[in-house]
Each structure stands twice: as C-alpha cells, then as structure tokens.
Amino acid sequence: MVFDNLKNCELYYGMHPRFKEAFDFIKKALDENLSVGKYEIDGKELWASVQEYTSKLTSEAKAEAHKNYIDIQFIVSGTEVIEGFDIRYATPKSEYNDVKDVLFFEDFENAGKGILNANEYGIFFPHDVHKPGMCLGGNQDAVKKIVVKVKV
C-alpha cells in the first residue's frame, strides 16, 4: 500500500502499466469537477467512481480487499483515515463476492493508519486489506473521493 500526494504520482507509473492513465483521469476529473457517479475509462480494465459522503466512525467502517482490482483512492476534499494491513493477517468476515470483487474482514488491531487530505491518495493492492472512509478523531467530515479501479 502507498500513501502520497498527487504531485508525486509519476513516481508510481512503473508499478502498473495503467497507473499513468488512472492518474490522468484523476487530474481530468479535478479539472472538470466531475459529479458523483461511475465513469468508464477502458471498460472493465480501468474505471472510476466519484463519491461524496460523510466520513464514518471507526465502528461503522468495513475492512475490505479485492482480488481483481487495485484501488487508487484519491481525496478531492475533506479528510479521512484509512487503515491497512496485509491479507496474511486477516480473518475473513464474509464470503468473497465475485460480482462486486470484494471480501470483508474482521478488524486487525495492529493495522497501519493513513490520514488523507485533499490531493492525497492511497493505493491498495489485492494483498492490502483496507478500511477506508473513517473520520479523524471522531470528527465526521464531508468527503469527496475518486476511486479508480485498475484491473490486476
């Protein structure tokens, strides 16, 4: 998993052949102030979702992982906390949903935490269980986020 600022996105282009295209979409979405919804970039290979929500209390958020996609979760506005841990230490909480490409997990008390503000993002690979959308210090915040799904 990676946490960084948009100004450094070029550092990660070599991690996957579609990352440049994914970050180009994020920049376009910012320039055009895209509204909430799903956006096809390249069919099922590369697509995005623009979301707006109020950050959750830790107890309301869900730890998840994906088998077929890498998540790039970019914060447009607001602040959120995302926990992350290696799937080797994870205990499944549900059956894998192959339609939604998601498996939920029990919380992990030794999870790492990233605080994301506007223009910052997290990259989560299939081995990264991540628990996104949490508020910082119990202070819920209005968040606008772009999640780009990159096919593995």
Give the per-residue pLDDT at 107.
Answer: 93
Specify the CATH number for 2-151; select among 3.40.190.10, 3.40.50.720, 2.60.120.370, 3.30.56.10. Answer: 2.60.120.370
Residues of the chain with pLDDT > 90: what percent? 99
Segment 34-63 shows an average pLDDT of: 97
Task: Enter the tokens of residue 84.
Answer: 């992350």
What DSSP designation does 23 have? H
Q: Please say whether the beta carbons of 78 and 141 come within 8 A.
A: yes
Residue 136 confidence (pLDDT):
97
Residues 2 and 9: beta-carbon distance below 8 Å: no
26's enclosing H/E stretch is helix 19-32
Model confidence pLDDT, tens digit, residues 83-141: 999 999 999 999 999 999 999 999 998 999 999 999 999 999 999 999 999 999 999 99
pTM of the model: 0.96
> Taking the domains of the chain in order of start, what are their residue ranges?
2-151
